[in-house]
Amino acid sequence: MTQLGYVGLGVMGGQMADRLLQKGHTVTGYNRTRAKAEWLIKRGMRWANSPREVVEASDITFSMVTSGPALMAIAHGEDGLLAGVTPGKVLVDISTVPPPVSRKLAEEVRAKGGDLLDSPISGSVITLQQGKLSVIVAGRRETFEKVKPILEDIGPRVTYVGDNGLALTLKIASNLSLAVQMLAFSEGILLAEKSGVKREVAVDVLTHSAIASPMVAYRGPFVLQLPKEAWFDVNMMQKDMLLALEMGRALDVPLPTTALANEFLTAARAMGLANEDFAVVFDVLAHMSGVRR
């Protein structure tokens, strides 16, 4: 049986590792803060003391961290991912990072006889738990075919899109739309509310209307009550928006709605809301509208 590893067991990474355990896989894991992984250890995950140990114990190692610098931090050094790579090892990075960063790491992994796929996901904790997560994959086709059955245990829709970095490009393109949709939804709610419609009624109508994308359906109710733990906080979303804006400049693609939504994320940080789910852009717009949550 294929031995799996997982490095980075935060909210989403931990849930994905748990799903692999539920599917009957043997998983060895590492997280910078062990306390956050204790629940997975109780569920049967094997603990390793470093990313290197995870790779050494695994045929395929998944990683999910917050940024390009964080990915390089777990990849390099005597205890990093690369130190554990030997011929035949496969790394699958789920982090949302700049495509050039991922391509560089793929080259370093291949120089040691292994391979790397960038494989970001589309969805949330809820879609993962419901078994509806989408997985986007880029890299060598033969490596993708090897890993595909395991990726299908994470989410039922697994799509190969081409060479390294292209899956990340699609992920960034997807995420910019999430913030834009959330801001537009907030505008509609506030327009209805200030006209006299109860907020709860407006949310119910709009989340069951023609505009109800999956994101609006599961995140729209956050304008009524934010989750206790952010699914995807303001800082993380703004990191992805800035990646999108950087790509837009490089490719000569104007991104006007992305730029505007990004300014609302900046306002949220200024209001001390950086650690809230990015749906808190509603609160920013509500404050500007003279409406209280």
Task: Give the number of other CB atoms < 10 A from CB of residue 223.
Answer: 27
Domain boundary among 143, 164, 185: 164
In terms of domains, do 100 and 188 share one?
no
Closest CA to 147 of 46, 238, 60, 277: 60
In terms of domains, do 98 and 202 share one?
no
Asked if residues 85 and 114 have their Cβ atoms less than 8 Å apart, the reply is: yes
Domain boundary among 147, 164, 181: 164
Token pair 């490009």 is at which residue? 169
In terms of domains, do 56 and 179 share one?
no
Q: Between vectors from CA 198 to CA 194 and to CA 199, what angle results, nearest 5°?
A: 85
In terms of domains, do 158 and 117 share one?
yes
In terms of domains, do 15 and 137 share one?
yes
In terms of domains, do 41 and 185 share one?
no
Closest CA to 88 of 52, 72, 112: 112
Domain boundary among 164, 191, 221: 164
In terms of domains, do 23 and 40 share one?
yes
In terms of domains, do 200 and 146 share one?
no
Q: What is the DSSP letter of 196?
A: T
- Beta strand 134-138 pairing with 121-122: antiparallel
Q: What CATH number does the domain containing 75 carry?
A: 3.40.50.720
Q: What is the DSSP letter of 205?
A: H
With b for 16 or more beta-carbon neighbours within 10 A and e for fewer, the 87-118 pattern comes to eebbbbbbbbbbbebbbbbbeebeeeebbbbb
Query: pLDDT tens string for the chain (293 positions)?
Result: 689 999 999 888 999 999 999 999 999 999 999 999 999 999 999 999 999 999 999 999 999 999 999 999 999 999 999 999 999 999 999 999 999 999 999 999 999 999 999 999 887 777 777 777 889 999 999 999 999 999 999 888 899 999 999 999 999 999 999 999 999 999 999 999 999 999 999 999 999 999 988 889 989 999 999 998 898 999 999 999 999 999 999 999 999 999 999 999 999 999 999 999 999 999 999 999 999 87
Asked if residues 199 and 224 have their Cβ atoms less than 8 Å apart, the reply is: yes
Q: Between vectors from CA 292 to CA 290 and to CA 269, what angle results, nearest 5°?
A: 90
Burial of 69 (0-12, 13-18, 19+ CB in 10 A): exposed
Domain count of the fold of the chain: 2
Q: What CATH number does the domain containing 189 carry?
A: 1.10.1040.10
| Domain membership of residue 281 as a residue range | 169-289
Distance CA 157, CA 262 (A): 29
Task: Give the number of other CB atoms < 10 A from CB of residue 29.
Answer: 28
Distance CA 173, CA 122 (A): 11
Q: Write the CB contacts of 274 (distance below 8 Å, at least 6 apart in sequence).
A: 233, 234, 235, 268
In terms of domains, do 132 and 230 share one?
no
In terms of domains, do 37 and 147 share one?
yes
Q: What is the amino acid identity at position 174?
A: S
In terms of domains, do 175 and 211 share one?
yes
In terms of domains, do 28 and 148 share one?
yes
Residue 1 pLDDT? 66
Entry pTM: 0.87
Task: Give the number of other CB atoms < 10 A from CB of residue 149.
Answer: 10
Listed in order, strand segments (DSSP E) in the chain are 3-7, 26-30, 46-47, 60-63, 90-93, 115-118, 121-122, 134-138, 157-162
